[in-house]
Each structure stands twice: as C-alpha cells, then as structure tokens.
C-alpha cells in the first residue's frame, strides 16, 4: 500500500531534499507550493501526512493549519509544520491550532524521516 505525503513548500531546495528523502523510503510525494489554495490541494490529494511550511506565497501555514483542523475530514490528519523561524510564539501558535509536530529548519534527514514515519504510524493506530 502506497503512503502519500503532501509537501506544501515553496523553496525548491527543500522540496528536492524532502522529496528525495521520502521517496527513497517508499513514500509517494506530492508537491504544492502555494498557500492560497493549499486546503483544496489537501482535499484533492487526500494524503496520509502533510508537511506544511509556515511562510508560503498567498497564505500563511498557520492559517492553512487552522482551516484544516476546522474540517471534520482533516481534523486528525498528521501535520508536520516546518519553519525557519523557530521562535517559541510560532511553536505555541502552531500547537494552539493543533499541529501534530513542529520542526525548525534546518533539520536533519533522520529527524524529518523519523517524524513522518512516527506521525503516520500514530495515525494508523488511531483508525
């Protein structure tokens, strides 16, 4: 069974690195690089895990997270949020909106892969 990650990220180098890492681990990676219609992209792709950047063109990752958590179909969806700004207030805001995990850039490949696997496993256990 194929596991799908939707990577909502606009930085080409990060897209390339995360895609390579996850695809090598057997994941199907779908890319979306706009904030404005990211909620629609999640609905269209129906991923097992979302990796969501905070700073996106068109809309903030925080707003996208808040909207996803307000939908019944995505309330429990594992969402890993990435940010270059690892300030406490950003982490607290993400947690208040229901993020599954908050990770700052730069991150190690092992950390990223391990967390995506862990979030997926936890979501499968719940269902």
Domains of the chain as residue ranges with CATH: 3-126 (3.40.50.2300)
Q: What is the pTM of this model?
A: 0.96
Contact 68, 74 (CB under 8 A): yes
**Structure-block tokens of residue 24:** 């090598």
Instruction: Name, in order, each residue with C-beta under 8 angstroms of 23's C-beta and a sequence gap of 6 or more.
Output: 29
**pLDDT tens, position by position, 35-76:** 999 999 999 999 999 999 999 999 999 999 999 999 999 999
Backbone angles phi, psi at 25, to 5 degrees: -90, 5
Exposure on the CB side of residue 74, measured as CA atoms within 13 A: 25
Contact 46, 69 (CB under 8 A): no
């Amino acid at each position: 069974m194929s596991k799908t990650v939707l990577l909502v990220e606009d930085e080409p180098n990060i897209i390339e690195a995360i895609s390579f890492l996850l695809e090598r681990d057997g994941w199907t990676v779908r890319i979306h690089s706009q904030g404005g219609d990211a909620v629609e992209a999640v609905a269209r792709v129906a991923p097992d895990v979302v990796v969501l950047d905070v700073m996106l063109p068109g809309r903030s990752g925080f707003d996208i997270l808040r909207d996803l958590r307000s939908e019944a179909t995505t309330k429990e969806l594992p969402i890993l949020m990435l940010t270059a700004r690892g300030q406490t207030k950003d982490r607290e805001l993400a947690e208040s909106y229901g993020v599954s995990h908050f990770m700052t850039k730069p991150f190690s490949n092992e950390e990223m892969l391990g967390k995506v696997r862990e979030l997926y496993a936890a979501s499968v256990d719940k269902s």
